[in-house]
């Protein structure tokens, strides 16, 4: 440890080293080691060349000049520093003079000592020149000396090290250093590298020591260059343009890396170049022997060649009698130069660089160059012709790599050149540098547009030298012929094409080059001929031949004239005659009867109607492919197609060497006859070789695009769950009404094909040719059987299906060469041809009044398509317009449906709702593609109540004495509504297309009497039965004897049953009926997949089920109803039934509620936000192309519908006011009844300028979440609608499982008065509650029936969250009968709920039917609407009414609902029962008594010792049953205990536990869970002494007392209910909170007074006498005569005046509990009257009674307890002490 030791002076201090160890324990003589050391601080560390790396030990120094930076105490500039060999000492050797081992003492400057060996530099002689190692310092260790007046040993050493290896650092080609010159970046100097003179480059090397480690920072590294063994360093320049050797030395950096950057080679070129990189005693040659062949080196090339001899401007083939030769000057000079144009004298003969001459042409791809003379390197200059051969330029040696023309002193000379067998303009000679004689192996002809020559002997792709070019000259051609195909085939007169596709592409069948297949042939060839017709085989010019599209001046044929094929125009042939065509040199365009075709639209280089060049091109973007080269006397156009125009009367024109290729009126530099020709060929007199049969072509469109698909009504096929490709747009309707003009008429646009996309014809330039178009049904979409399906496409008056025909009559196709249709009628008032359509701003066609006729009003069809076709002979085009028939262009519309009226609404149910209000509920019928649904209209009839309409019944048998006014029928005092019951339906078997039995289950909420009729709608299309069914259909099951008169209406699908007279069904009794399979109700097939020929039942032979179903419901999946409503009506003479008996409502007035729609009328469900209001909305004012695929209907759709009864009240679409608008033919143009937003404003079918003024828009009202306010009647809108599917909500009970403070399971209990059906959803809310895992689409849960513990399958649960609140969502999987308790238990751990609120024991769950049920609520003062229907316009004149609907109490209303879509309305659904307008019942008058129940008990004690614990025996008998949870409280004054005692076990079954409150001295007995303390039964309960209750310390405990029971008796008086104020019962609330804020408990007590104080119904007759104590009664055995009595368990029955509760049922024996409802148990006889009286099982009496008596049978009634106390007053609860009659 040297801490604390320091030099006493900068010069240093001597120290001795002592040792203290295990035996030597202290410093002293024994610790001397005789070792001393010297410690100095003058120089403490140094750095080499100030590199920032300090050392205090050994410095690594280079073997050349270097410096050290000194650190220490007081380093001064006057001091000296030196290095000496390590074996010497500083005091004696520090100042030794400079030599290879001594530096001499140098003066310190700025703490730096610099050491220099001046002669350590490159040698001045020898090859190669390298660093002179003899004059560089010696390798070895040196010590650093310092002198500040005194020489000091610093203790610091240096090691001068030798570079052993120089390596190239780059990993590039042959591991040579990376070349980074501007033009040749990333190439490597190697044996086969060619470097351009004067081009900058880098060379990088790495220095290493003998151990292979990078070393030697600061080492001088020198680079030199040799050529062919001679020093050429003077031609090597550094980045400062110095070639001095001293300026080409670079120091190694700290990593041993050296880079020679931006060096150049100048003034020379050639081969055998080397670099030598050297340091003292080491060097590296580049390239090394390992990098390539020894003594090869690398190559330096010239930058460019330059011709110095001038040529003439033109040479003519045939001069001097040689038809194929042109003679050039005898001597032509070419120089090799650097980039600055300086000749390179260093390039000598020994380098063996040759000059090759090549023939080429010029002119930017167009030989008609418009400059004075095209000369390279002009930007318009072309390229070397690859077809040039050795015979085209003589002598042949000049165009071969073996030419003997060699550069010497940088110059090459060529002699005696000739051009042979060529024709064209602007020929030139190209001079190319070749490196080695004979190494190319053939002519070096380069590539087109190449301006550099490739040194062929090397492989580097960068070895190019700019070539030299001669000036240009012209060679004139002879005449031509035309051929077609990739293997040219000469045209004959009959093989020229007469149809070509615009922008066509090569087809693959039947032949890629066949005429009329697709576009023009893949290749067109024109051959240059000499005067003898021989091909000028060596003629080759670039861009010298131009093709153009021209058009006959008479391209639109006229009816009655002959067309091009000699047929009278008007029969469908489209080729015009094109007479007067000729080549005429006197014309400005050298043509007669023809003109240059012009662009019919913009695109590519077509920008104005006067543009023309782009009409023929191989590219849609630019004018290209029309100008081609001539190769071997032949020119070929590949991919040449007509562009940006179409129609009839076109030709191709070919012009050789035009004077100006940009002119519209093109002319050739040659004579007119020799410089051009046509396709079809017009003959030898017109520059061709053969005369074609047709003298023009028809150019059919590349494509037709559907700019608007048929539709505008019905279902959005693209938006279906399984989309159908219609118009490709979601939220637009894709249907048309059967036999109705399409609301959205089809429109097509003409299209061409650009480079990457198609283009339109967007201008009214009228430069295209005449071309009709035809529309037909694509027959394969109707199964190639449109005839039998009765489908016909037809126009109305404006536009037919074609130019000449109104209707495309259906055909049966055989599949081979079938015409799509027969045509009939005139073509309509508008020509059906392709023309500019202002409404579309495109060329195409827009139909105005097409429609599809169907067989009848019930028949629709799914998935039709229209096909639109144009082309040659249009009226006879073939079925498929396929690859084998390509003379036409066709396009198909998307799929569309032909639909009919919507399905009839189902399950209409109207309830009185609130005061003077009603809740109209119904389910949408089947919503399918062929029966789309837009909305519903609800109509309300007010019934007269006089003259036999809804007559008042005079008798009121239930209350004859009390003066209550005569009532109307049935439910007047209870609900005011019509009688509706819910039924469940099931089917077996469910085999598609097979007869099924129907099981009907009902739990009636009201009694059903003999004569009552029940109507049940089974729902079309859920089930079918043939209209001509004649079989036998009888009810089966336990109720077979209860009903008669079964009928089924095949049209309405309504089943009607009539109760047998004398039969009765009490409310609550389960009713099960079965219609057997013999009734031939056919179960529907999934997706209509019926086998052909399946008929409607075994007895039927005519009606085919598949045809019936598919024509009406398409491919939809149909399911029969699972639940329905049954309407119950009494006979006209009965006092039970609905208000008007279904047939006696005389309508006094009718009102229409606002129409009701859901969020979208274009889907197949009734869902989403509902809305109501007006219908119809403005369509778009134009047609967009491309077709818009993102907008919501009617935006971006042009409704060009023509038809009667439009709902458009706007005169802007009236014919008389818009005579200039071709689309205004009648009132049409709106969106129809197609969903949001809806309103009164019509759509616009016509021009924009006629739309002033614009009428105000009346939109429909969108209802957001109106559920709670609508239910409560607080909604500002009257009427209002609940969200789709919402039903009456349901209270549920909740129990929780807690784990670690969180709820991990929830038990939900629900009992619903109506059926729970599969798919019904219960949403149980939990405020401020969240699940640890968040929302969960599946929560494991189990549903169980409470009564039977049977697990229900298919029930599912989920958890949702929103805004911090949670919901448990339960979806029913099975049908649950009304009033049946079901529990849903989530699995423990399925949720982990955390709440910041109090979790409730009960809550209100939101119920959704899952059937999209509609609930429409309205009340007095509701808004009204008006409408009238017209053909194709179901609610066309719909408008909101300024009046409102006035409803008065006791008004009787009848309801009907119909569905409508954009074209049709359904049949109506009507309630066979009526509803009465009611108000709220009168308030109860007052409470007459409120008292708590009590019971007298007897007490005895085990011990009576004061203050001792004692048992207490309690004896009691209760007047009423005490159910589980009931409390009995005994006040035991004087008794004490040490504390409150909980859960005292009594051992008693009913009272199993007790609680003792020492503070109140009260003992509380509780009835155990699941137990009942039965009335009038003796109970003894013992409280054990172990409970610790102490006998009173003074006095005597009571032997009896009055115990209080936690039940209360409330008595009150209420007015009698009236028909306008019916009463269902009472709501009783209790609380312990005087402010009524908390602890409010509610119970409901029924009070139904229709049939007296007891709501009772005769059920059966006693079959045996009953004693006053007997606990059974005997009735007729139901197993023999009817349904089981099991349902009576828990119900009340009345025999005589005694009420009994049924405890059990076995056959005809009922176990009962006697004397219920404060009635007394008395004996009952089955037969009354004495004598010989007798009764049968049906209650019919016989025999002779005792005198004064009558024989009678004792009836048994089912009785239903309610609020009114029968024991009060004289008349069963009518309190005459307080109230008065009436």
Q: What is the mean pLDDT of residues 15-31?
A: 80
> What was the pLDDT predicted at 1498?
96
d(CA 1444, CA 136): 119
Contact 1046/1664 with Cβ under 8 angstroms?
no
Q: What is the band of 848 on the pLDDT scale with cuts at 50, 70, 90?
A: confident
Tokens standing for 1567? Answer: 């009835």
Q: What is the mean pLDDT of residues 1647-1657?
A: 76
Residue 608 pLDDT greater than 90, yes or no: yes
> What was the pLDDT predicted at 548?
95
Residues with Cβ within 8 Å of residue 684, at least 6 apart in sequence:
690
Residue 390 pLDDT greater than 60, yes or no: no
Percent of the chain with pLDDT over 90: 35
Give the range among 79-88, 508-517, 600-609, 1231-1240 with minimum mean pLDDT. Answer: 1231-1240
Give the range among 45-49, 226-230, 473-477, 1464-1468 with minimum mean pLDDT. Answer: 473-477
> What was the pLDDT predicted at 352?
78
Residue 962 pLDDT greater than 70, yes or no: no
User: For the chain, first and last CA: distance in Å?
Assistant: 125
Q: How many CB atoms lie within 10 A of CB 1377?
A: 16
Eight-class DSSP state of 1544: E
Rg of the chain in Å (alpha carbons): 56
Residue 1580 pLDDT greater than 90, yes or no: yes
Which tens digit of pLDDT belongs to each residue from 861-895? 999 999 898 877 655 443 444 445 577 888 899 99
Q: What is the band of 827 on the pLDDT scale with cuts at 50, 70, 90?
A: confident
Residue 180 pLDDT greater than 50, yes or no: no
Which tens digit of pLDDT belongs to each residue from 1178-1191? 677 778 888 888 87
Residue 304 pLDDT greater than 70, yes or no: yes
> What was the pLDDT predicted at 709?
94
Residue with the larger pLDDT of the pair 1398 and 938 = 938
> What was the pLDDT predicted at 1720?
87
Q: What is the mean pLDDT of residues 119-131?
A: 89
> What was the pLDDT predicted at 1319?
93
> What was the pLDDT predicted at 160?
93
Which tens digit of pLDDT belongs to each residue from 570-595? 544 456 667 678 888 788 888 988 99
- Name the β-bridge partners of 807: 794, 824
Q: What is the mean pLDDT of residues 919-935?
A: 91
Which tens digit of pLDDT belongs to each residue from 499-542? 888 988 755 444 556 667 678 888 899 998 765 677 877 776 77
Residue 364 pLDDT greater than 50, yes or no: no
Residue with the larger pLDDT of the pair 25 and 167 = 167
Max Cα distance, the chain (Å): 173
List C-alpha distances in Å: 1382 to 165, 966, 1314.
94, 43, 13
d(CA 479, CA 656): 10
> What was the pLDDT predicted at 1202?
52
Q: How many CB atoms lie within 10 A of CB 1095?
A: 18
Residue 1704 pLDDT greater than 70, yes or no: yes
Residue with the larger pLDDT of the pair 9 and 1742 = 1742
Residue 176 pLDDT greater than 50, yes or no: no
> What was the pLDDT predicted at 447?
40
Percent of the chain with pLDDT over 70: 78
> What was the pLDDT predicted at 1336?
95
- Name the β-bridge partners of 1459: 936
Q: What is the band of 181 on the pLDDT scale with cuts at 50, 70, 90?
A: very low
Q: What is the mean pLDDT of residues 1499-1523?
A: 92
Query: pTM for the whole thing?
Result: 0.69
Which tens digit of pLDDT belongs to each residue from 1409-1458? 888 899 999 999 999 988 888 788 788 677 778 889 999 998 889 999 99
Give the range among 570-579, 732-741, 1226-1235, 1769-1778 with minimum mean pLDDT. Answer: 1226-1235
Q: What is the band of 101 on the pLDDT scale with cuts at 50, 70, 90?
A: very high
Give the range among 129-143, 239-253, 1264-1278, 1754-1768 with minimum mean pLDDT. Answer: 1264-1278
Strand 1013-1017 to 1123-1129 pairing: antiparallel
Top-ranked range on mean pLDDT: pick from 445-459, 969-983, 1144-1158: 1144-1158
Tokens standing for 968? Answer: 């109307």
Tokens standing for 1157? Answer: 């729609």
> What was the pLDDT predicted at 321?
60
Residue 1516 pLDDT greater than 50, yes or no: yes
Contact 1177/1241 with Cβ under 8 angstroms?
yes
Give the range among 87-96, 247-256, 756-765, 805-814 with minimum mean pLDDT. Answer: 805-814
Residue with the larger pLDDT of the pair 377 and 1242 = 377
Written as one string, the DSSP assignment of 1146-1173 is: -EEEEEEPPEEE-S-SSSSS--SS-EEE
Residue 1224 pLDDT greater than 60, yes or no: no
Residue 244, sorted as left (phi over 0), alpha (psi -120 to 50) or beta, turns out to be: beta
- Name the β-bridge partners of 1700: 1693
Residue 289 pLDDT greater than 70, yes or no: no
d(CA 926, CA 1119): 9
> What was the pLDDT predicted at 1779?
52
* Nearest one of 772, 764, 748 to 557, comparing CA atoms: 772
Tokens standing for 450? Answer: 């190449």
List C-alpha distances in Å: 1145 to 949, 966, 969, 978, 1453.
5, 19, 13, 13, 9
Which tens digit of pLDDT belongs to each residue from 1155-1172? 888 777 888 888 766 666
- Name the β-bridge partners of 628: 545
Give the range among 674-683, 926-935, 1377-1386 with minimum mean pLDDT. Answer: 674-683
Give the range among 335-349, 1087-1101, 1749-1763 with minimum mean pLDDT. Answer: 1087-1101
Residue 294 pLDDT greater than 60, yes or no: no
Q: What is the mean pLDDT of residues 1044-1070?
A: 88
Residue 1344 pLDDT greater than 70, yes or no: yes
Average pLDDT score over the chain: 80
d(CA 1564, CA 397): 133
């Amino acid at each position: 440890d040297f801490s604390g030791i320091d030099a006493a002076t900068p010069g240093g201090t001597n120290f001795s080293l002592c040792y203290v160890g295990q035996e030597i324990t202290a410093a002293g003589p024994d610790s001397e080691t005789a070792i001393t050391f010297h410690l100095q601080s003058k120089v403490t560390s140094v750095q080499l060349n100030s590199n920032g790396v300090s050392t205090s030990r050994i410095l690594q120094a280079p073997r050349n000049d270097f410096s050290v930076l000194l650190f220490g105490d007081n380093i001064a500039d006057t001091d000296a520093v030196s290095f000496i060999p390590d074996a010497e000492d500083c005091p004696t050797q520090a100042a030794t003079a400079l030599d290879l081992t001594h530096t001499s003492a140098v003066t310190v400057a700025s703490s730096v000592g610099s050491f220099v060996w001046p002669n350590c530099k490159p040698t001045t002689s020898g090859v190669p020149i390298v660093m002179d190692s003899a004059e560089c310092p010696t390798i070895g260790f040196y010590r650093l000396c310092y002198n500040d007046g005194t020489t000091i040993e610093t203790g610091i050493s240096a090691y001068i090290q030798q570079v052993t290896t120089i390596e190239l650092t780059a990993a590039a080609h042959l591991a040579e250093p990376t070349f980074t010159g501007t033009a040749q970046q990333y190439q490597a100097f190697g044996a086969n590298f060619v470097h351009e003179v004067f081009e900058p480059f880098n060379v990088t090397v790495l220095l290493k020591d003998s151990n292979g480690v990078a070393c030697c920072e600061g080492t001088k590294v020198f680079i030199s260059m040799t050529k062919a063994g001679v020093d050429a360093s003077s031609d090597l320049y550094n980045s400062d343009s110095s070639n001095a050797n001293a300026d080409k030395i670079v120091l190694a950096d700290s990593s041993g890396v050296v880079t020679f950057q931006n060096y150049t080679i100048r003034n020379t070129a050639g081969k055998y170049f080397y670099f030598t990189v050297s340091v003292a005693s080491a060097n590296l040659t580049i390239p090394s022997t390992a990098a390539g062949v020894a003594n090869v080196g690398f190559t330096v090339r010239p930058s460019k060649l330059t011709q110095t001899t001038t040529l003439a401007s033109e040479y003519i083939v045939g001069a001097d009698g040689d038809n194929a030769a042109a003679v050039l000057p005898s001597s032509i000079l070419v120089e090799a130069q650097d980039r600055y144009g300086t000749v390179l004298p260093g390039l000598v003969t020994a380098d063996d660089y040759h000059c090759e001459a090549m023939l080429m042409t010029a002119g930017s791809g167009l030989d008609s160059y418009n400059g004075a003379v095209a000369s390279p390197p002009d930007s318009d200059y072309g390229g070397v012709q690859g077809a040039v051969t050795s015979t085209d330029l003589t002598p042949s040696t000049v165009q071969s790599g073996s030419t003997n023309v060699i550069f010497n002193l940088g110059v090459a000379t060529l002699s005696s050149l000739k051009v042979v067998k060529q024709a064209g303009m602007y020929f030139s000679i190209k001079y190319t540098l070749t490196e080695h004689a004979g190494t190319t192996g053939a002519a070096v002809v380069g590539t087109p547009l190449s301006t550099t020559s490739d040194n062929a002997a090397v492989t580097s792709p960068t070895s190019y030298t700019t070539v030299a070019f001669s000036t240009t000259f012209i060679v004139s051609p002879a005449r031509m012929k035309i051929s077609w195909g990739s293997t040219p085939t000469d045209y004959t007169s009959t093989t020229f094409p007469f149809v070509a596709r615009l922008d066509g592409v090569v087809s693959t069948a039947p032949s890629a080059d066949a005429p009329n297949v697709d576009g023009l042939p893949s290749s067109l060839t024109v051959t240059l001929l000499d005067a003898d017709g021989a091909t000028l085989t060596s003629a080759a010019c670039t861009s010298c031949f131009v093709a153009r599209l021209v058009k006959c001046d008479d391209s639109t044929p006229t009816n009655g004239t002959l067309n091009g094929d000699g047929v009278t125009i008007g029969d469908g042939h489209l080729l015009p005659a094109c007479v007067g065509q000729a080549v005429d040199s006197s014309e400005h365009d050298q043509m007669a009867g023809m003109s240059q075709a012009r662009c019919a639209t913009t695109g590519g280089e077509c920008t104005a109607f006067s543009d023309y060049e782009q009409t023929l091109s191989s590219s849609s973007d630019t004018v290209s492919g029309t100008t081609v080269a001539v190769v071997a006397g032949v020119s070929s156009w590949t991919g040449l197609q007509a562009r940006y125009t179409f129609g009839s009367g076109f030709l191709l024109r070919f012009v050789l060497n035009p004077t100006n290729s940009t002119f519209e009126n093109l002319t050739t530099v040659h004579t007119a006859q020799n410089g051009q020709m046509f396709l079809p060929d017009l003959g030898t007199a017109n520059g061709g070789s053969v005369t074609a049969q047709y003298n023009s072509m028809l150019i059919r469109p590349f494509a037709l695009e559907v700019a608007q698909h048929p539709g505008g009504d019905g279902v959005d096929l693209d938006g279906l769950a399984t989309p159908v490709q219609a118009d490709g747009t979601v939220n637009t309707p894709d249907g048309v009404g059967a036999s109705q003009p399409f609301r959205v008429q089809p429109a097509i646009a003409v299209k061409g094909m650009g480079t990457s996309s198609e283009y339109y014809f967007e201008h009214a330039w009228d430069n295209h040719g005449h071309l009709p178009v035809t529309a037909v049904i694509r027959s394969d979409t109707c199964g190639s059987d449109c005839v039998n399906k009765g489908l016909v496409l037809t126009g109305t008056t404006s536009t037919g299906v074609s130019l000449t025909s109104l209707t495309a009559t259906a055909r049966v196709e055989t599949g081979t060469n079938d015409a799509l249709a027969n045509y009939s009628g005139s073509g309509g008032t508008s020509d059906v041809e392709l023309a500019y359509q202002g409404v579309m701003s495109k060329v195409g066609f827009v139909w105005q009044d097409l429609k599809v006729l169907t067989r009848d009003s019930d028949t629709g069809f799914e998935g039709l398509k229209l096909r639109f076709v144009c082309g040659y002979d249009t009226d006879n085009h073939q079925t498929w317009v396929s690859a084998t028939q390509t003379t036409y262009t066709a396009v198909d519309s998307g799929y569309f449906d032909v639909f009919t009226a919507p399905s009839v609404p189902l399950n209409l149910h109207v309830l009185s709702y609130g005061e003077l209000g009603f809740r109209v509920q119904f389910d949408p019928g089947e919503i399918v593609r062929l029966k789309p649904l837009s909305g519903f209209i609800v109509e309300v009839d007010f019934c007269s109540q006089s003259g036999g309409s809804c007559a008042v019944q005079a008798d009121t048998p239930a209350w004859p004495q009390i003066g209550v006014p005569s009532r109307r029928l049935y439910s007047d005092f209870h609900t005011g509504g019509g009688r509706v019951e819910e039924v469940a339906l099931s089917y077996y078997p469910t085999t598609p297309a097979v007869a099924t039995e129907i099981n009907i289950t009902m739990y009636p909420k009201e009694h059903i009497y003999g004569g009552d009729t029940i109507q049940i709608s089974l729902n079309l299309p859920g089930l079918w039965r043939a209209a001509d069914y004649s079989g036998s259909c009888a009810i089966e099951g336990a109720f077979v004897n209860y009903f008669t008169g079964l009928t089924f209406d095949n049209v309405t699908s309504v089943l009607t049953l009539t109760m047998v007279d004398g039969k009765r069904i009490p409310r609550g009794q389960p009713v099960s009926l079965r219609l057997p399979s013999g009734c031939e109700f056919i179960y529907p097939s999934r997706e209509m997949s019926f086998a052909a020929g399946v008929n409607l039942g075994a007895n039927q032979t005519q009606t085919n089920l598949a045809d019936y179903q598919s024509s009406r419901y398409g491919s939809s999946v149909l399911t029969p109803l699972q639940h329905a409503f049954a309407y119950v009506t009494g006979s006209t003479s009965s006092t039970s039934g609905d208000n008007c008996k279904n047939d006696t409502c005389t309508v006094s007035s009718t009102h229409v509620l606002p129409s009701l729609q859901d969020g979208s009328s274009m889907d197949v469900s009734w869902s989403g936000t509902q809305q109501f209001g007006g219908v119809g909305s403005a369509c778009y004012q134009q047609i967009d192309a491309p077709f818009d695929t993102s907008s919501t209907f009617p935006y971006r759709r042009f409704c060009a519908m023509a038809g009667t009864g439009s709902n458009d009240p706007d005169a802007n679409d009236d014919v008389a006011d818009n005579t200039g608008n071709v689309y205004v033919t009648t009132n049409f143009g709106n969106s129809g009844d197609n969903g949001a937003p809806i309103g009164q404003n019509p759509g616009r079918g016509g021009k924009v300028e006629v739309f002033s003024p614009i009428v105000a828009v009346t939109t429909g009202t969108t209802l957001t979440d109106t559920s709670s306010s609508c239910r409560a009647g607080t909604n500002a809108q009257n009427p209002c609608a609940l969200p789709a599917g919402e039903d009456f909500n349901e209270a549920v009970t909740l129990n929780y499982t807690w784990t670690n403070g969180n709820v991990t399971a929830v038990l939900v209990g629900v009992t619903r008065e109506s059926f729970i059906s599969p798919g019904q959803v219960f949403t149980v809310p939990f405020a401020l509650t969240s699940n640890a895992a968040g929302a969960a689409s599946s929560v494991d849960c189990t549903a169980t029936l409470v009564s039977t513990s049977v697990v229900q399958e298919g029930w599912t649960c989920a958890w949702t969250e929103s805004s911090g609140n949670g919901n448990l969502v339960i979806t029913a999987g099975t049908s649950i009968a009304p009033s049946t308790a079901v529990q849903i238990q989530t699995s423990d751990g399925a949720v982990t709920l955390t709440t910041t609120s109090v979790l409730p024991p009960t809550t209100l769950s939101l119920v959704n039917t899952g059937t999209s049920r509609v609930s429409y609520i309205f009340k007095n003062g509701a808004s009204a609407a008006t409408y009238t229907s017209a053909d194709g316009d179901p609610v066309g004149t719909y408008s909101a009414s300024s009046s409102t609907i006035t409803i008065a109490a006791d008004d009787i209303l009848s309801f009907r609902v119909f569905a409508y879509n954009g074209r049709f309305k359904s049949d109506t659904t009507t309630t066979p029962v009526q509803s009465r307008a009611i108000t709220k019942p009168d308030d109860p008058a007052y409470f007459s008594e409120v008292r708590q129940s009590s019971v007298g008990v007897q007490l005895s004690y085990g011990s009576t010792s004061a203050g001792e614990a004692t048992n207490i025996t309690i004896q009691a008998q209760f007047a009423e049953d005490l159910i589980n949870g009931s409390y009995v409280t005994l006040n035991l004054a004087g008794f004490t205990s040490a504390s409150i005692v909980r859960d005292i076990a009594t051992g008693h079954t009913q009272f199993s536990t007790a609680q003792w409150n020492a503070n109140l001295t009260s003992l509380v007995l509780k009835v155990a869970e699941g137990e009942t303390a039965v009335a009038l039964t003796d109970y003894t309960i013992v409280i054990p002494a172990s409970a610790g209750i102490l006998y009173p310390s003074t006095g005597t405990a009571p032997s009896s007392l009055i115990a209080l029971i936690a039940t209360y008796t409330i008595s009150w008086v209420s007015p009698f209910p009236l028909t306008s104020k019916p009463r269902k019962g009472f709501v009783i609330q209790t609380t312990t909170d005087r402010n009524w804020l908390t602890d409010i408990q509610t119970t409901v007590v029924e009070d139904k007074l229709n049939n007296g104080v007891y709501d009772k119904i005769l059920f059966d007759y006693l079959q045996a006498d009953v004693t006053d104590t007997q606990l059974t009664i005997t009735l007729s055995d139901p197993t023999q005569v009817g349904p089981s009595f099991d349902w009576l368990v828990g119900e009340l029955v009345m025999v005589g005046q005694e009420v009994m509760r049924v405890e059990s049922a076995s056959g005809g024996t009922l176990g009962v509990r006697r004397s219920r409802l404060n009635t007394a148990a008395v004996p009952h006889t089955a037969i009354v009257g004495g004598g010989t009286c007798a009764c049968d099982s049906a209650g019919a009496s016989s025999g002779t009674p005792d005198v004064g008596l009558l024989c009678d049978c004792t009836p048994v009634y089912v009785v239903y307890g309610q609020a009114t106390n029968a024991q009060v007053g004289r008349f069963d609860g009518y309190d005459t002490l307080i109230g008065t009659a009436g």
